[in-house]
């Protein structure tokens, strides 16, 4: 299975750099809507056979134009939601942002017992996202698209791709409607299946005019810790 993961379009909270992870969350800005509208052309010709989004409004709004162009429903899965900010929710100060990012960075280094302040640990977070991926694989889909969130996509791809190191998450930002492509690799001689990262497009897929220029929120940006 080849999996396309796309971050949602720009939201008002992204512009103000809030750690906004709770359900249902905000809608999209005008730029965010334009970013979403560019996705059908950007993905034209791809043999997409499923469109999935988290239970937050922003991912579903971003998915709508592509799903409509393909004649497919947007299927909502709670497990695709953003990494909870816990007690850091709706803060935009540097201390909160650094605490949030340090926690998720520790998860990709293997410290899954570390808990987000007032929130989940790494095991809980990976488990609910992995469960959705397992569901899609079991359904026989060959190229589903997942609309998820900046931190969640960066963390999951870094942790699961066998061909990247843990510092990949630090060195590679993911702007609104940035995209990653992962491919499942069958195990050999009884080894478990693995994943490879095929491509990483950190900028908005619709081109330069749709880039955020630093207004895409802390979950997807580079931050010097």
Cis peptide before 24 (omega within 30 of 0): yes
Active site residue 171: no
Own/partner pairs, 131-140, CB within 8 angstroms, 24+ separation: 131/79, 132/52, 132/77, 132/79, 132/80, 133/3, 135/77, 136/1, 136/3, 136/50, 136/52, 137/1, 137/184, 139/50
d(CA 142, CA 14) in angstroms, rounded, equals: 32
**Residue 123 half-sphere exposure toward CB, CA atoms < 13 A:** 4
Cα–Cα distance for residue pair 6/60, rounded to 1 Å: 11
Nearest to 78 by CA among 162, 2, 21: 21
Catalytic residue (one of 16, 17, 46, 82) = 82
Per DSSP bridges, beta strands 2-7 and 179-185 are antiparallel
Is 149 known to be catalytic? no
DSSP H or E run through 37: helix 30-37
Cα distance between residue 178 and residue 186, in whole Å: 27
The catalytic residue positions are 8, 82
């Amino acid at each position: 299975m080849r999996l396309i993961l796309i971050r949602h379009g720009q939201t008002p909270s992204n512009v103000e750099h809030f750690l906004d992870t709770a359900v249902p969350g905000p809608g999209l800005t005008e730029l965010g809507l334009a970013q979403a509208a560019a996705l059908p052309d950007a993905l034209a010709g791809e043999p997409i056979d499923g469109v999935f989004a988290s239970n937050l409004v922003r991912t579903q709004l971003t998915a709508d134009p592509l799903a409509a162009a393909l004649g497919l429903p947007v299927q909502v899965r709670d497990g695709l939601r953003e990494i909870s900010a816990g007690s850091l929710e709706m803060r935009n100060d540097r201390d909160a942002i650094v605490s949030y990012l340090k926690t998720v960075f520790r998860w990709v280094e293997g410290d899954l017992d570390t808990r987000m302040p007032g929130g989940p640990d790494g095991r809980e977070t990976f488990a609910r996202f992995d469960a959705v991926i397992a569901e899609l694989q079991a359904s026989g889909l060959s190229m589903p698209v997942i609309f998820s969130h900046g931190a969640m996509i960066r963390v999951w791809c870094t942790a699961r791709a066998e061909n990247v190191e843990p510092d990949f998450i630090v060195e590679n930002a993911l702007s609104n409607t940035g995209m990653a492509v992962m491919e499942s690799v069958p195990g050999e001689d009884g080894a478990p299946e693995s994943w490879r990262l095929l491509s990483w497009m950190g900028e908005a897929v619709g081109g330069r005019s749709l880039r955020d220029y630093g207004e895409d929120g802390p979950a997807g940006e580079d931050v010097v810790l």
